[in-house]
């Protein structure tokens, strides 16, 4: 079997309304071709969360995988940092 490196990223959970599914955002900056200023961009991805362990506001590590559904091609690897709950 071929040993291949999967693409992994860190992201922030913005929604966990579905069963075994979460929505995450990845923020990044790109340089404008003409004005040479940096512009903020954001990507929303659907992520498969098998154990329903991620909550809104958590920082998670995700990895690219086979498509689980029409909108989910990423899976949750681990929760890096939990959001502190307000009392």
Predicted confidence band at 49 (pLDDT cuts at 50, 70, 90)? very high
**What's the whole-number average pLDDT of the chain?**
92
Q: Is the pTM of this model over 0.85?
A: no
- Residue 86: pLDDT over 80: no
Pairwise pLDDT comparison (85 vs 77), residue with the higher score? 77
How much is the average pLDDT of 69-84? 94
- DSSP letters for 9-42: EEEEEEE--STTEEEEEEEEEEE-TTT--EEEEE
């Amino acid at each position: 079997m071929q040993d291949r490196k999967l693409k992994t990223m860190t992201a922030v959970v913005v929604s966990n309304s579905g069963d075994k599914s979460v929505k995450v955002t990845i923020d990044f900056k790109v340089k404008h071709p003409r004005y040479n200023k940096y512009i903020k961009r954001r990507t929303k991805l659907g992520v498969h969360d098998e154990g329903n362990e991620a909550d809104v506001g958590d920082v998670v590590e995700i990895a690219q995988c086979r498509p689980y559904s029409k909108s989910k091609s990423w899976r949750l690897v681990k929760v890096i940092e939990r959001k502190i709950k307000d009392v």
